[in-house]
Structure 1
Amino acid sequence: MIRDIAPPLQGSKSKISASDPNSSIFLTDSPKDIKNKINKHAFNGGKETIEEYHAKGGDCEVDVSFQYLRSLMDDAQRFEHIRQNYSLRKLLTDELKKILIELLQELVGQHQEQRKEVTLDVVRQFMTRRQLHFHY
């Protein structure tokens, strides 16, 4: 789970729970799972209508998709562009979610591919105790 870098999908007032598979993105989620979870469960700040959004803009402080992007996006210039456009009502919530879905699908997919390469020998080597050598 992405516990320490982003809030629960339902917003900061809820909790990430292993018993609620829709409260977070898991590293075992399929691309379809990621898309469904973000589209259906990612709290967007409580704007009820598109008219209200156009009047007030996106609230970056409470929008879960934005919070995830803040934690995961490594392109600071692109992130700032997204923040400005979302705050100024030039980027809709659905478009913000689409950006997050694509990023999460890529990151989780990379993790899953790399995990396939881990063999029992790799685990044994990693878990073998080694003496630390300090050089002062």
Structure 2
Amino acid sequence: MPFCSESACYSTLAPSLDVLASPAFISKCLYATTPSMGGNSGADTDSYGYLTIQRALDIARNSEGGVDPVISSYLEKALREVWARLHAQPHTYILSKDEFALFNYFRARFQSSDITQRAVQRFWDHYEGDPQDVDMSD
């Protein structure tokens, strides 16, 4: 079943992410060094060079025998940053295309989260590109 479409979203927050909603964690996360969500910005890693969200997602999807811990760590860190942003602005934050792709990759964690469902709906409500250009793969 797809994570979302222009008219529907299937998302929930798994208990493992409950800690991400705590004010202490959000505050810590906002001040941590995290990967940029801008698509053109990223982080330099020893084994992969310069990573962006999209490049890390591509590497993770094409990994055979499990995702490399460097890539997994990068994506988890990016997810924590986006989650903190959503909790800071739960009714107004609009996901970027890369943030949407990141949530789509981790969709199993967000099976019925109202915050995530509204964020995905806002993404589609404000997306001005071709829907075919949106990364819907996991």
TM more than 0.5: no
TM-score, normalising length: structure 2: 0.30
1 or 2, which has the higher strand percentage? 2
Larger Rg: 1
TM-score, normalising length: structure 1: 0.30
